[in-house]
């Protein structure tokens, strides 16, 4: 009984979120994501529904963040200058860093990521997509250092990586996003990931069945969408 009630709660909550969310700019958290996936998102292609247990896992990740932030705001050894810090509003991208902290000498942008034991154990260096996200925060906040703090959801162990702002990397990331925005605006479906379908992103992709229908390379959206019978009728 409770199982069904709780599952329904999560599924309804997710449906409500998706209904009110038409994407017209990128989010920092999407940096490094498959361009074709993002294209489908902007075009409002219906996603495969996530399993309720996955939605609970996301919630669990939020609780991990709160737990870490509660420790950081309670200690005197570090100063939390601001939490949930939004980047300045502009058209291309929006995002919210977990915190800006200070050790008394230096400001850092902090991003907290939680994961299961298996991924946590294999982590000897930060994931590239996590570095890219924090590089964008460093660019927008003009802060020279970032910290990625990884939390093992299963046993609450921590790993941290500190690194410097890399202006060339930030510039490239923004150029890639502008290129993709242009593809979206001109209705060019980006090519699949090189390692499709074995890439982990493809394995969990909510657009996999749509992507499967198409070709490996770029496609014209106007032609492709006719093959996708359930493309949302609200799409232009």
Binding-site ranges for ligand SF4 (CB under 6 A): 34, 36-37, 192-193, 196, 199, 201-202, 205, 207-208, 211
**Measured from the CB atom, is 68 or 193 closer to ligand SF4?**
193
Q: How near is the Cβ of 29 to ligand SF4 at its closest, in Å?
A: 16
Measured in degrees and rounded to the nearest 5, phi and psi for residue 12 equal -65, -40
Distance CA 229, CA 226 (A): 6
**Measured from the CB atom, is 62 or 212 closer to ligand SF4?**
212
Q: At what angle do helices 35-42 and 167-185 cross, to 10 degrees?
A: 50
Q: How near is the Cβ of 199 to ligand SF4 at its closest, in Å?
A: 6
**Measured from the CB atom, is 108 or 207 closer to ligand SF4?**
207
**Measured from the CB atom, is 36 or 225 closer to ligand SF4?**
36
Q: How near is the Cβ of 99 to ligand SF4 at its closest, in Å?
A: 30
Strand partners for 80:
101
**Measured from the CB atom, is 176 or 201 closer to ligand SF4?**
201
Q: How near is the Cβ of 214 to ligand SF4 at its closest, in Å?
A: 8
Q: How near is the Cβ of 192 to ligand SF4 at its closest, in Å?
A: 4
Is residue 100 a contact partner of residue 79, using CB atoms and an 8 Å limit? no
According to DSSP, the β-strands at 26-27 and 93-94 are parallel
**Measured from the CB atom, is 13 or 48 closer to ligand SF4?**
48
- The two three-digit tokens of residue 46, written as one number: 């219906």
Angle at 176 (CA atoms; ends 174, 180), nearest 5 degrees: 115
Kindly give the residue spans of alpha helices, DSSP state H, lying in 43-192. Answer: 52-74, 117-122, 128-141, 167-185
Q: How near is the Cβ of 191 to ligand SF4 at its closest, in Å?
A: 8
Place of tokens 């046993």: 155
Strand segments, DSSP code E, in the chain are: 26-27, 79-86, 93-94, 96-102, 107-115, 145-152, 158-164, 188-189, 219-220
**Measured from the CB atom, is 9 or 204 closer to ligand SF4?**
204
Q: At what angle do helices 167-185 and 128-141 cross, to 10 degrees?
A: 100
CA quadruple 47, 51, 54, 55: dihedral sign: positive
Q: How near is the Cβ of 177 to ligand SF4 at its closest, in Å?
A: 16
């Amino acid at each position: 009984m409770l199982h069904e009630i709780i599952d329904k709660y999560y599924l309804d909550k997710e449906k409500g979120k998706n209904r009110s969310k038409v994407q017209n700019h990128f989010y920092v958290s999407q940096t490094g994501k498959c361009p074709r996936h993002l294209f489908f998102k902007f075009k409002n292609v219906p996603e495969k529904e996530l399993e309720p247990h996955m939605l609970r896992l996301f919630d669990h990740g939020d609780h991990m963040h709160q737990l870490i932030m509660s420790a950081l705001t309670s200690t005197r050894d570090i100063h939390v200058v601001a939490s949930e810090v939004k980047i300045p509003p502009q058209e291309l991208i929006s995002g919210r860093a977990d915190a800006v902290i200070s050790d008394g000498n230096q400001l850092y942008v902090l991003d907290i990521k939680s994961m299961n034991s298996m991924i946590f154990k294999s982590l000897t260096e930060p994931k590239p997509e996590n570095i890219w996200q924090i590089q964008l925060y460093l660019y927008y906040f003009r802060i020279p250092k970032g910290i990625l703090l990884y939390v093992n959801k299963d046993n609450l162990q921590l790993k941290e990586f500190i690194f410097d702002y890399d202006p060339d990397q930030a510039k490239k990331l923004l150029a890639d996003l502008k290129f993709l925005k242009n593809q979206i605006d001109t209705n060019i479906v980006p090519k699949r990931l090189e390692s499709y379908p074995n890439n982990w992103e493809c394995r969990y992709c909510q657009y996999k069945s749509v992507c499967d229908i198409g070709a490996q390379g770029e496609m014209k959206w106007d032609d492709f969408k006719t093959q996708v019978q359930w493309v949302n009728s609200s799409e232009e």
